[in-house]
Amino acid sequence: MLTFVGLGLYDEDSITREGAAAIAEADAVFAECYTSKLLGATVDDLESHHGVEIDVRDRAGVEQTPEPILDAATDGDAVFLTAGDTMIATTHVDLRLRAADRGIETRIVHGVTAQAAASSLTGLQNYRFGPATTLPFPDAHAVDGLPASVTNTVDENAERGLHTLVFLDIKAADDRYMSADRAASLLAGEYADRLGVAVARAGSPDPVVAADSIDALAARSFGEPLHLLVIPGALHSMEADALATFADAPEELLPSE
Amino acid sequence: MLTFVGLGLYDEDSITREGAAAIAEADAVFAECYTSKLLGATVDDLESHHGVEIDVRDRAGVEQTPEPILDAATDGDAVFLTAGDTMIATTHVDLRLRAADRGIETRIVHGVTAQAAASSLTGLQNYRFGPATTLPFPDAHAVDGLPASVTNTVDENAERGLHTLVFLDIKAADDRYMSADRAASLLAGEYADRLGVAVARAGSPDPVVAADSIDALAARSFGEPLHLLVIPGALHSMEADALATFADAPEELLPSE
């Protein structure tokens, strides 16, 4: 059996009780830290917290040589840990498909997602978000300015009045995390006067939620990673109230009642 | 302090360790079960599991007379429990705004959402979902046939190639939960030949994920609630593989390679 467990967003307490039980009962525990990782707990912290050894696999160790994981799941109960929920990255779906190909039963123990946290913390309603997009570091894509994947998503969502969650690039292997102010400075070329909401350390005990024009957000700073940015679409009055109350949104950027 | 805690999707083990700690440390614990509820644990189960008394508030007890909750949060640490993540329902945002109006500090401990589970369990990529919609019981809305809120969302998502998560109506106070087959029969008027994916008991130890034409799903049954339905948009090849492997999608309804 191969059980995929989502660790949630921040530290060793972000996991569900079901996930912790799966780790405790496992014969072998693996993790990947290249698509995302916890910022509030190291792998050592997780090992001592759960009283297990964790075999951290790099990208090649999951995508090219998954055999040790699949062998462990054939011989006994193996757990595969990822930050957030599992299956967010296609690499996890691929591993699950390989397991199924070998006749290994799989199971998923869900974790809290950044999407859920961004909606809850900002007060922007979940069902009013369009698809999310990811803003890459400028050195990670070929074109000057913003990639079309970002502007198309933001613009198409805005046309429908929908909010856009912008994931900020993570190079977890190099400990590089794009900050919300950096993201806002990149987005300012297209969206300088638009309302944006920076969300820092979602899922931690001290999240920061700050609403301002994209231009103004670019000049602020929000502390330790991970950061997210939301570009709201049309705002319902309770959403506007929440942004004013919990994110100090300037009145002139909110719809007048 | 008023701490909003999401219980996650299914039973007493669906909560995060952080959420369980917040309950253990609270001076008073409240819950609402009218927007959604856990199907795998009763309030009694939660009380005995966490060793606390839980004051279950009905809609009027949250929206019209929230004073006992706000008073407890003024005098000490109060926790307010909801199924899934918190803040999914506007009634929770409203309560948080009322607390802020009274100068009460608020905190959010996130829970796993049905959105995250629907994406992980089906293998449909998270960032390729458009906004979700809710299919109401026919006796709960005025028009014949499907409400425009449903068809507009499905159709606009489909135009962009996006998947749609369809939440199925819950009348938790009356223990009425729309089944995926019932939902499919309602949707068949518009979408009979389209691919649909039924997801039953997401977050439980025995979730069912079944892909078939909407028409065919209407003739099947998926056991105990809660159910969800997904109407996929354009499928990437790994998404198609996942639906074939984990949801037995008929080959003729998947894109040819």
Q: Indicate the pTM of the whole model.
A: 0.96
pLDDT of amino acid B88:
85
Closest residue in chain B to residue A85, using alpha carbons only: B116
DSSP secondary structure letters along chain B: -EEEEE-BSSSTTSSBHHHHHHHHH-SEEEEE-SS---SS--HHHHHHHHT--EEEE-HHHHHT--HHHHHHHHHS-EEEEESBSSSSSHHHHHHHHHHHHTT--EEEE----HHHHHHHHHT--GGGB---EEE--GGGSSSSSS-HHHHHHHHHHHHTT-BEEEEE-EEGGGTEE--HHHHHHHHHHHHTTSEEEEEESTTSSS-EEEEEEHHHHHT----SS-EEEEE--S--HHHHHHHHHHH---GGGSPP-
Chain A contact for B24 (CB, 8 A cutoff): no
Are B20 and A15 inside 8 Å of each other by CB? no
Are B120 and A90 inside 8 Å of each other by CB? no
- Cβ contacts of residue A67 below 8 Å, gap of 6+? none
Are A131 and B14 inside 8 Å of each other by CB? no
Residue of B112, B125, B238 to mutate, interface with A, max A Cβ within 10 Å:
B112
pLDDT of amino acid B175:
87
- In chain A, positions 35-54, which contact chain B (CB-CB < 8 Å)? none
**Model confidence over A156-213: pLDDT tens digits?**
999 999 999 999 999 888 889 999 999 999 999 999 999 999 999 999 999 999 999 9
pLDDT of amino acid B174:
86
Are B238 and A123 inside 8 Å of each other by CB? no
Rounded mean pLDDT of chain A?
Answer: 95
pLDDT of amino acid B257:
63
**Model confidence over A204-233: pLDDT tens digits?**
999 999 999 999 999 999 999 999 999 999
Q: What is the pLDDT confidence band of residue A257, given thresholds at 50, 70 and 90? A: low
pLDDT of amino acid A161:
97
Are A127 and B133 inside 8 Å of each other by CB? yes
Closest residue in chain A to residue B12, using alpha carbons only: A17
Q: What is the mean pLDDT of residues A70-94?
A: 95
- Cβ contacts of residue B30 below 8 Å, gap of 6+? B54, B55, B56, B57, B68, B69, B72, B78, B79, B80, B81
Residues of A whose CB is below 8 A from B7: none
Q: Is the ipTM of this complex over 0.90?
A: yes
- In chain A, positions 162-201, which contact chain B (CB-CB < 8 Å)? 162
- In chain A, positions 101-130, which contact chain B (CB-CB < 8 Å)? 107-108, 110-113, 115-117, 119-121, 123, 125-130
- Taking only the tens of pLDDT, chain B with its 257 residues reads 999 999 999 999 999 999 999 999 999 999 999 988 899 999 999 999 999 999 999 999 999 999 999 999 999 999 999 999 999 889 999 999 999 999 999 999 999 999 999 999 999 999 999 999 999 999 877 677 899 999 999 999 999 999 999 999 998 888 899 999 999 999 999 999 999 999 999 999 999 999 999 999 999 999 999 999 999 999 999 999 999 999 999 999 999 86
Q: Of A97, A110, A205, which is closest to B242 when you measure between CB atoms?
A: A97
Q: What are phi and psi of B208, to 5 degrees?
A: -115, 135
pLDDT of amino acid B173:
80
pLDDT of amino acid A10:
97
Q: What is the mean pLDDT of residues A79-91?
A: 93
pLDDT of amino acid A174:
86
pLDDT of amino acid B179:
98
Chain A contact for B89 (CB, 8 A cutoff): no
Are B111 and A115 inside 8 Å of each other by CB? no
pLDDT of amino acid B126:
93
Residues of A whose CB is below 8 A from B20: 17
Tell me the two tokens of residue A47: 């090992």
Which of B135, B224, B129 lies closest to B183 in space, CA to CA?
A: B135
Distance from the B204 Cα atom to the nearest Cα atom in chain A, whole angstroms: 9
pLDDT of amino acid A145:
80
Which of B88, B93, B30 lies closest to A246 in space, CA to CA?
A: B93
Are A115 and B96 inside 8 Å of each other by CB? no
**Model confidence over A121-167: pLDDT tens digits?**
999 999 999 999 999 999 877 677 899 999 999 999 999 999 999 99
